[in-house]
Amino acid sequence: MRSRGSSHSRPSRRPRDNSPLQYGDRIGPYLITGFAGRGGTSYVYRARRQDSFEPVAIKVLHPRFVDDARKRRKFFREARLLLRMEHPNIVGFREILDEQDHVAFVMDYIEGATLDTWLDRHEGGLDESTLIALFVDVLRGVAHTHERGIIHRDLKPSNILIEHSGGRLRARLIDFGVARQADRPLRRDELDKIEGTAAYISPEEIRDPETVCRSSDLYSLGVVMYEAACGRRPFEADDSSRLFAAHTSQTPPSPRACQSDLSSALASILLKALAKRPVSRFGSADEMIEALERAVRRRIGERTRGEFAVEEVVETQEWSRDDETPAREQPEWTSDEAERLPLLMWLEMALTVVLSTGHTGRDNDPHHLSRDHSPDLEVPQV
């Protein structure tokens, strides 16, 4: 159905400093067994309890931030949000560790690969029903976070983990580092910052963070789905300010112009998710799930053509609102293309959403749970 350019490769990345924990080190009752990744303020390790061989993932605040009250507060906020959630499409939380030298929290270890890596490994293409099934999984996790009053605010391919479980693929949400409670008022310093990933950020996050809502997550997920289905993002630019302007004012290219074999039903869903105003998007994650399930049943098969290279994954950052916010909003663009085309009933495809994506391969990447702020990161071997 879709194709990602195989010629694209990410540059070599090297860490700015050494990991504070090494193989065999102990933190609380856990023994470090490997390195999984790093972000701007934390590291993620593979580990196991000293009295067990069951693997876990431990996210550890960087030692230089242990005495920073703001960083500690933000770090523990993520842990508390994870503590409130329990769902098969969200990484599982276990416990908080607060010691003299280490601040950390423990999660389930998931054997799998992030969505961006996983799609690169399947550059030959996925059928549309498989792709839809994966995103129904993601939306189930999103629906659960919204039911708990939590907005993720940083949905992107590197924050979606794909694992092979029980004979099928399962998608899980990871990294709630910039998530917020929907009913919590923003502090003054939060009003002055645009926090997130420029390529996937919602228009309201750019214009006015107080208006960020559950629909903002659906917009970001719409960008991710567009990228997965079309092989490119709807908006691409070299700097954050141009991306912000595109999200708030530019019309996204027609999905079927980018990927001709995309069904009109799925193309219509993508455009609705990318509406500039929250009120014009889907009313909830559950409503978007229903639309995707209908698209599976109504799927129109067409010939596959074209290859599109995918740009390097951009990282979560903070920007100054005064410097980066676009001045005005332009009208959104919607499509009724699906209503004008004949639709065929593929009832058997509906089972794909519930039972399996059709893929039985196994991915062995370590559990990635943190954002990387360094453009030259390379995961060290331990």
Q: What is the pLDDT of residues 178-199, one digit of tens each?
A: 898 888 877 776 777 777 899 9
Say whether pLDDT at 141 is over 90: yes
Could you tell me how far CA 109 lies from the centroid of its own chain? 18
Q: How much is the pLDDT for 369?
A: 27
- Mean of pLDDT values over 230-238: 92
C-alpha to C-alpha distances, 241 to 55, 153, 275, 315, nearest whole angstrom = 42, 18, 19, 15
Least confident of 8-17, 97-106, 196-205: 8-17
Could you tell me how far CA 270 lies from the centroid of its own chain? 16
User: Pairing mode, if any, of strands 112-114 and 103-108?
Assistant: unpaired
pLDDT, tens only, 306-364? 333 333 444 555 554 555 555 444 444 444 444 443 333 333 433 333 333 333 333 33
Centre a 10 Å sphere on the Cβ of residue 157 and count the other Cβ atoms it contains: 22
Rg (CA), the chain: 20
C-alpha to C-alpha distances, 55 to 108, 161, 163, 249, nearest whole angstrom = 8, 17, 15, 46
Q: How much is the pLDDT for 293?
A: 92
Q: What is the mean pLDDT of the chain?
A: 77
Q: Rounded to an integer, what distance in angstroms lies between the CA atom of residue 92 and that of residue 87?
A: 8
Active-site positions read: 154
Q: Rounded to an integer, what distance in angstroms lies between the CA atom of residue 291 and that of residue 273?
A: 11
Centre a 10 Å sphere on the Cβ of residue 142 and count the other Cβ atoms it contains: 29
Sequence-separated (6 or more) residues with CB below 8 Å from residue 184: none
Per the listing, tokens 């645009």 go with 194
Q: What is the token pair recorded at 305? A: 């053509």
Q: What is the token pair recorded at 7? A: 């010629």
> In order of start, what are the domains of the chain with their CATH numbers?
26-108 (3.30.200.20), 113-355 (1.10.510.10)
Report the candidate in 173, 183, 182 with the shortest Cα–Cα distance to residue 224.
Answer: 173
Query: Global pTM?
Result: 0.74
